[in-house]
Amino acid sequence: MHSRFLSNPTSDPSSSSTPVEIPNDAVSSSSSSTPSSSDMWNYLWIPMLISLSKELTLAKAQSTILLPSEIGLESPRLSSCPASDPQLNFRPVIGILSHPGDGASGRLNNASNASYIAASYVKFVESAGARVIPLIYNEPPEILFAKLNLVNGVLFTGGWAKSGLYYEIVKRIFKKTLEKNDAGDHFPLYAICLGFELLTMIISEDKNILEEFSATDQASTLQFMKNTNIEGTVFQRFPPDLLKKLSTDCLVMQNHHYGISPETIRQNVNLSSFFKMLTTSTDEDNKVYVSTVQAHSYPVTAFQWHPEKNAFEWGLSMIPHSEDAVQVTQHVANFFVSEARKSLNRPPARKVLDNLIYNYSPTYCGKAGKGYDEVYIFA
């Protein structure tokens, strides 16, 4: 098909009425009434240049980030920053309870009185803007509970101990947590894996309530309970797309042999009146267990999964380390510390400094290729 720009625009009276088409190789020898080659290039290039200019302008507009001052939204200049909320504590401290052993099956310290805190829990808390005081489970009770008065929240870690002194100390600290909240101090508690299991045993008053599940070294999804209202829960600040991915992608780490089923919680009056179920997960045998709960009337949240591992542990093969998985860790940590900032407790600064975990050094144990990467050992 010939271009309309190459047809003769005029008609010769002496010629027939049929238009005469000029071949491309005859343009230079055409009569003066035929458009020159430069004219024809103008016809072609001018529209192309206009179109290209519009595209470049649009691309520049889309790629340029304008500052508030550049779009007329600059705030009035202030001589100082706005005052912070006096009701919030912007120097929160979290107490983490140590667990019996060295966290490495005796490879690091096999003393009978040794206890440890995995460094991942410390980093988890610090990443959200809080400091840590270790609550050493087997130190004299007067010392342990004096330290409890220096913190703005408590974290129970994973582990294996479900009896003896450790169980009794968890029970006493849990009771103190409820007392502090009943007295008007907003004092949050996170219970992770073993911590969740111990709370179900304590609240239900049944040490045999746990059920067996196959969920060791397993990444999983979280399935939200039907008609769950996440307002005021650990999930309230999750972006909508990340909330959706929690149910479709394996973004959380499970590593447990025990748990509790939704039916068991519903049938136990003590548990159902204290906790509301937020999520469930499924083990390797397709058995469903409760994976996240939150207290109805207290700032107490319990996880059967490990929110701290995604960002800070590397010893298990199935720990998810994607950007989304790390965001899960961060959002869960942020909620905990935001709750701790509501605490009214303002202990003497010197006492806090004397008891911070910075007074101890972590031990690297990740070369074994299993378990924790770093632990704090107390003996």
**Dihedrals φ, ψ of 201, to 5°?**
-65, -40
- Rounded Cα distance between 217 and 305, Å, is 11
- Name the active-site residue from 193, 250, 331, 365: 193
Among residues 234, 245, 215, the alpha carbon closest in space to that of 302 is found at: 234
Is 2 an active-site residue? no
At 376, is the secondary structure helix, strand, or coil? strand
**Which of the 8 DSSP states describes residue 89?**
-
Is 256 an active-site residue? no
- Name the active-site residue from 99, 186, 306, 331: 306
3-state secondary structure the chain: CCCHHHECCCCCCCCCCCCCECCHHHHHHCCCCCCCHHHHHHHHHHHHHHHHHHHHHHHHHHHCCCCHHHCCCCCCCCCCCCCCCCCCCCCCEEEEECEECCCCCCCCCCCCCCEEEEHHHHHHHHCCCCEEEEECCCCCHHHHHHHHCCCCCEEECCCCCCCHHHHHHHHHHHHHHHHHHHCCCCCCEEEECHHHHHHHHHHHCCCCCCEEEEEEEEEECCEECCCCCCCCCCCCCCCHHHHHHHHHCCCEEEEEEEECCHHHHHHCHHHHHHEEEEEEEECCCCCEEEEEEEECCCCEEEECCCCCHHHHCCCCCCCCCCHHHHHHHHHHHHHHHHHHCCCCCCCCHHHHHHHCHHHCCCEECHHHCCCCCEEEEEC
Q: Two tokens at 266?
A: 């519903």
Amino acid letter for position 240: P
Residues acting as catalytic residues: 193, 306
